[in-house]
Copies of this chain bind each other. A is one copy, B any other.
């Protein structure tokens, strides 16, 4: 036990969940916010900004990358990260449909 039964759920449900899960940590929300303040790409000041060790941030970046939320390209000595809107859109549309399907509720 303790193993998530992913195979029991649809591809879509797993996809939505993995995007949301990637956003589900304050450090990763912070990273996304930092990526937005920089014009487009950021070449890693993140370590200086956030109160976490370099190894930890590298790990969080990897998770965001694995979930497809950010992309990184090597640019000489440094890495250049930016947000991939595809996944953001997918989750956004899911939330939109939740809002739309919502009917008056007495709860």
- CB within 8 Å of B: which residues of A? 4-6, 8-10, 13-14, 16-18, 20-30, 32-33, 36, 39-41, 50-52, 71-73, 80-83, 85, 88-89, 91-92, 94-99, 101-107
Task: Label chain A's interface by main secondary structure.
Answer: helix
Copies in the complex: 2
- Taking a contact as CB atoms closer than 8 A, the residue among B18, B26, B36, B71 that contacts A13 in the complex is B26
- Contact residues in B for A104 (Cβ distance below 8 Å): 40
B107 close to A85 (CB less than 8 A) = no
| Bound-complex Cα distance A6 to B83 (A) | 23
B101 close to A36 (CB less than 8 A) = yes
Quote the shortest CB–CB distance from A63 to chain B (angstroms): 11
